[in-house]
Structure 1
Amino acid sequence: MSKKNKALLVLQPYIWLLPSVLLMVTMIVVPIISVFKISFSEVGRSGLIKGFNGIENYLEVFRQPAFLTTLRNTFVWTIAVVGLSTVIGFILAMVLNQEFFGRKLVRAVVIFPWATALVIQSVIWKYIVNADYGSLNVLLKKLGVIKSFVNWTGTAQSMFAWECWVGIFVTFPFVTFCVLSGLQGIDAALYESAAVDGAGFWSKLFKITLPLVRPSLTVSTVLNIIYVFNSFPIVWTISKGAPADQTHTLVTYLYKLSFTEGKSGQAAAVSVIGFVILAILASIYMFMSLRGEGED
């Protein structure tokens, strides 16, 4: 084989990868660099960059009382939705992994909340908990549970709690099917051998099931952290940050800064802060998961 052919053979994988790399650079790297640049610039309401202004945008963001509330909400939102949806999804996956009549139908029904658009889900739940004509109040009153309609979203805390519930409701099906795929890959002989040795349910769970589905849980958790942290439709559709900017997350808050108040520089600064936080959280989780697999 000639040197030219050898060189082409070595370069061939990189040539095939080149279109994907160019697409990633164009669609991901360039916008990230652009956002970082805007966050350190003075930007007019029209979106024109007037010049470099250092960390002024970041300082202005931290001066706003609503930002600290938004930051706290974002952590509560991410931890609550990812954590509870993971627990619910794992339990449901264990149930759906068993043989029972109508299992295929139940699996099809479970996927609906995740497959339906988030805006549609949010509008439906906003109607359900409406204080004046919501179906939840109507149902509970007909059942005699309540005597008069209840304002389920009367405070910022209750409004945010309902938003978290909607986030959990649309997220747990994804976890369920990720874990279910891992459960179906476990050899039944392992459980039979454990049963012969006298292992109970909890021993099988912690010694067989959890270690073997850990890769599936890692994938679902990392993706959920990214998706939930950046989730926009649920919070914006239900409350738009009301009342008094008390239910914002970082994504809805930066949207308001940029498109409602025309503060693109500050919005970019919030975006960068969110990007850094998300990168740190995902890296920590991945490091802990990979270290756990290495120890196994």
Structure 2
Amino acid sequence: MNMHNGAAAAEPKPAGGRRTRRRLRLAGGLAPYLWLAPSLLLIILVTIFPIFELFSTALSKVSLSGVKKGYVGLQNFSNVLRDPVFWGVLKNTLIWTVGVVGISTVLSLGIAQLLNQEFPGRRLVRSALIVPWAVSLIITSVIWRWILDYHYGALNLILQKLHLIDQNIYWLASPATSFPAMIGVGIFVTIPFTSFLFLAGLQAIPGELYESAGVDGANGWSKFVHVTLPMLRQPLMISTVLNTIYVFNSFPIIWSMTKGEPVNQTDTIITYLYKLAFVAHKMGDAAAVSVISFLLLLLFSVAYIGLVMRRE
């Protein structure tokens, strides 16, 4: 009897059971990848493949119809870097980006502080602030172009009524006035996004921190510097990175107001590469400019986020 039981216990388990468990473990391990597969496929088709095509085009000779006609190495980059117009455009782009992002960030901090206070009509003011961001950039740009018009613009009329000018000014005819005007429009449409982002950050700051700072004798400015700004570090990082990318690549404002004229003096990289591709039909050079702008933004994003995270 005991010998029979020992023999039965020594019998190997069915191989089918092990195979079933192995299949279940394999299916469990693959399940997350199956759920992620549609998103990964979308990322490959929408992001990775276009970037690959961009670099491939930048290293190729491209016909007027957009057909690649062979590898030319860095010739397209050499053409761009030897063009003096490119360096002027790059300078304009840096001034445009730093001006819009920097000034809108400073103004938005003050506006967010104001909207975080209790006052009559606060909800109405918050609703009105979102309008410039909600309206199409093309519509906003065209409206401002008409406001700045030499013959019919409201700005010249208002300034003459206030006796600040004696005759109408060609605001969009000279880079000395048109470029600051475009920066002003860029700030106007950027402030709503940054203000609400900072407002959300302000509302997440515990009131006890300000009370403790007040007990320690901190005034309003000290509270702002030592409490508000450190607690807004994450919103500031998000706002700076996103706004830099958006403003750097902004096309509608510049194209609607000046088209980069006169003589490329108000062009930025995005309008310059548009002219290279669809006016001069230099697809390879335009792709090279796109690669340069992509690398500049990538370098800025990695450096800025790395600096902020290192401080954290």
Structure 2 length-normalised TM:
0.91
- For residue 2 of structure 1, what is the amino acid of its counterpart? R
1:13 and 2:32 matched: yes
Q: Following the alignment from structure 1 to structure 2, what is the Cα–Cα distance between the partners of residues 163 and 14?
A: 47
Q: Following the alignment from structure 2 to structure 1, what is the Cα–Cα distance between the partners of residues 24 and 233?
A: 44
Pairing of 1:252-271 with structure 2 (within 5 A): 252-271=271-290
Q: Following the alignment from structure 1 to structure 2, what is the Cα–Cα distance between the partners of residues 5 and 179?
A: 48
**Structure 2 partner of 1:48:** 67
Deviation at 1:10, TM superposition (A): 2.7
**Structure 2 partner of 1:104:** 123
Pairing of 1:1-296 with structure 2 (within 5 A): 2-293=21-312
Deviation at 1:2, TM superposition (A): 2.7
Structure 1 runs of 4+ aligned residues shifted over 6 Å read: none
Number of residue pairs aligned between Structure 1 and Structure 2: 293
| Residue segments in structure 2 that go unaligned for 5+ positions in a row | 1-19
User: Which of the pair has more CA radius of gyration?
Assistant: 2
| Residue segments in structure 1 that go unaligned for 5+ positions in a row | none
- For residue 148 of structure 1, what is the amino acid of its counterpart? Q
**Structure 1 partner of 2:8:** none
Q: Deviations over 1:105-161 (max 9, x none)?
A: 000111111111111111011111112211100112123222211222332232111
| Identity rate, percent | 48
SS of the aligned residue for 1:146 comes to coil
SS of the aligned residue for 1:2 comes to helix
Q: Deviations over 1:140-191 (max 9, x none)?
A: 2123222211222332232111111111110011110111001001111211
Deviation at 1:17, TM superposition (A): 1.4
- For residue 171 of structure 2, what is the amino acid of its counterpart? W
Structure 1 length-normalised TM:
0.96
- For residue 127 of structure 1, what is the amino acid of its counterpart? W
Q: Following the alignment from structure 1 to structure 2, what is the Cα–Cα distance between the partners of residues 223 and 185?
A: 21
Deviation at 1:6, TM superposition (A): 2.7
CA RMSD of aligned residues (A): 1.3
Q: Deviations over 1:234-255 (max 9, x none)?
A: 1111111100011111111101
Q: Deviations over 1:176-212 (max 9, x none)?
A: 0111001001111211121122111122112211111
Q: Following the alignment from structure 2 to structure 1, what is the Cα–Cα distance between the partners of residues 286 and 151?
A: 35
The farther-off stretch of 243-252 and 7-16 is: 7-16
